Chains A and B, each alone.
Chain A
Amino acid sequence: MITSKKGLPLIFFAFISLLVGISSGSGGWISYPFESARHSFIFWELRVPRALLAFLVGGGLGTCGLVFQSLFRNALAGPFTLGVASGASFGACLGIFLSSSLGLYFSWGLFSSVTVLSFLGALLSVSIILGLSRFKNGFRPTVLILCGVISSFFFSSLILFLQFMAQQYDAKKMLQWIMGDLGVVGYSPSILLGIACLLVLYLVKKKAGILNIISVGEVFAQTRGINVDRERRVLFVTTSALVGVIVSFVGPISFVGLILPHWVKARFGHKLEDCLGPCFLGAGSFLVICDCFSRIFDGGSGLPVGVITSFIGGPYFLYILLKDKSL
């Protein structure tokens, strides 16, 4: 996937970030050979799974952002501007609320009522968008993004309502969930997410040519025999499903899916097949590094990683906006 020379520094960066990611943390620097069994446990059961998960989450969100941006020809289209993440957040908050105030809770391996409701919340917002687009006679970017913004506000109000109704402890739990958390023990979330990412990457790679043509322009794609509406629908649903899986496991981590695709496109050109690999690698490593900061910050108080991605992402996005003359 990465063929040009420009890709080499990126591979190097990814390697270093993973190395730093698994070695550093609140328990101090750990390197091979391990000093004790405790170190070995921290390394294999906490840090490696966490770095792996961070890498997959970042890569997945970056890929989804890249696809959304080409699909809708809009620099602002992303997993979060389209309302998928806010739907998922509402589902999770509802799960937390139901479990504490009504005692409705279940847990089965990886899945709990919170993750399942969160995924259903993502699906709900996807179906709202799909339904609306059918009603409005087509899958047009402006309608879609407007609909995303509206449903974001709507779900936010529902979340605030739940927080208002909930006990203080649950309200804080909801807030923490919304800030995003990569804390994980063991490998099963990474395996599940890895499979989901591979499936989506395979589909996107297969559709890369068509996506390239759509990103040129809607009328252009239509005259070149592409059913733009159908392609948009299919790719929107699959990538949104991946976003739903990611968000239901780790919460909404914003800006990764928005800034990395821009950075990659500026360096690797506008062909999707050239950007896919770098985007996954770059976004994955970016989140691993951000997660390192979050773990080291203040002696390991566990500052949510979403705070850091937004803190870096906001100004960087502004920088792109100022630099890019076509925006």
Chain B
Amino acid sequence: MNHIEIRSLSVEFDGCHLIKDISANFELGEITSIIGSNGSGKSSLLKAVVGIFPFQAKSLTVNGESLIEKKPQHRASLVAYMPQQLEIEENLIVEDFFHYSRFPQMESFRKLAPAEVKLRDRICVELKIAHLLKRKVSQVSGGELKKISIGGTFFQGCRYVLLDEPFQALDPVVKSEVAEFLRTAVDQFDCGIIMACHDLYWVQTLSDKALLLKRGELAHFGELRGVFTNENLTELYGQNFMTYTSEGSRDSILLPSGCK
């Protein structure tokens, strides 16, 4: 029962079918990546699951409970979501960003409990953003803001965390820091992560499962090793892929053959 279950989910906007009849399960304790070319509907799918985009579905349940009739606050206590670009007030203090992020777990708005402060500090240390807590949003860089958004989304305290492009705008070193955070977060927060991601290197390094979207339709879904084949990716992106193996490692990575 520990999963998000989607049955026949469709999203229509302005007469366009952004998502067509998708069914999938996202398990607790796993990282699932949603991949596909630009405009394939990755973000729309995430937004629909979290309920900020109108959709039609036979059912959408979290651990057996239907999400559709849930009140927004209850829904936000089960599923957290980080948009690709977070537009936030520039004068906001980062510390308050974390405070407000915790709102779904509060009966009514209150200060953070000592245990919650500890949790927040732990997340910040792991993401190396502890020194930014007292700063205004206008005083942090784009990459730092991305890490703050990721931290805030986990601090929301949900069993399922949806991330839209967690690696965007990050330098290579920070990318690996965030990847390490996500890898350990699954056990640490006992949660399931679903991320839409263009960075195929990190998708293959981190994910347990992958969902391949092509023009709003589900092309392939399953264990990473089974789904990430040369044929599937070539079909998805319309370009040939090659297997790259780094020296001294048995792991191989599929990347477009164009990049050398």
Contact = CB atoms under 8 A, between A and B. Distances in A.
Contacts of B69: none
Nearest to B156: A224
A212 B87 contact: no
Contact of B103 (A208, A215, A219, A226): A226
Nearest to A220: B88
Given A208-B109, A271-B96, A226 B86 contact: no
A173 interface: no
Interface string B31-68: 00000000000000000001010000000000000000
Nearest to B89: A216
A271 B97 CA distance: 12
A227 B70 CA distance: 12
Contacts of A213: 100, 103
B86 A209 contact: no
Contact of A326 (B72, B90, B100): B90
A326 B138 contact: yes
Contact of A222 (B72, B92, B100): B72
B73 A223 contact: no
Contacts of B104: 224-225
A216 B76 contact: no
Given A210-B109, A224-B100, A224-B156, A215 B89 contact: yes
B74 interface: yes
Contact of B76 (A208, A209, A223): A223
Contacts of A208: 109
A140 interface: no
Given A209-B103, A209-B109, A326-B138, A223 B88 contact: no
A216 B72 contact: no
Interface stretch (B77-85, B117-125, B212-220, B235-243): B77-85
A223 B82 CA distance: 8
B92 A224 contact: no
Contacts of B96: 212, 271
A230 to B, nearest CB: 9
Contact of A219 (B73, B76, B83, B92): B83
Instruction: Please indicate which of the listed interface residues B81, B89, B90, B156 has the most CB atoms of chain A within 10 Å of its own CB.
Output: B89
Contact of A223 (B81, B90, B91, B138): B81
Contacts of A219: 52, 83, 86-87
A39 interface: no
A73 B74 contact: no
A28 interface: no
A217 B92 CA distance: 10
B75 A225 contact: yes
Given A222-B52, A224-B101, A217 B86 contact: yes
Contact of B83 (A215, A216, A223, A226): A223
Nearest to B87: A217
Nearest to B74: A225
Interface string A195-233: 000000000000011101101111110111111000000
A225 B92 contact: no
A227 B72 contact: yes
Contact of A217 (B89, B110, B138): B89
A217 B72 CA distance: 16
A216 to B, nearest CB: 5
Given A73-B89, A217-B88, A326-B90, A223 B109 contact: no
Nearest to A73: B89
B89 A270 contact: yes
A217 B109 CA distance: 17
A219 B103 CA distance: 14
A225 B76 contact: yes
A77 to B, nearest CB: 14
Contacts of A222: 52, 72
20 contacts: A212-B96, A213-B100, A216-B88, A216-B92, A216-B97, A216-B100, A217-B87, A219-B87, A220-B86, A220-B88, A222-B72, A223-B81, A224-B101, A224-B156, A225-B71, A225-B72, A227-B71, A270-B91, A270-B92, A271-B96
Given A216-B88, A226-B73, 13 more contacts: A216-B97, A217-B87, A220-B86, A220-B87, A223-B52, A223-B76, A223-B80, A224-B104, A225-B72, A225-B73, A226-B103, A326-B90, A326-B138
3 A-B pairs with least C-beta separation:
A209-B109, A225-B76, A225-B73
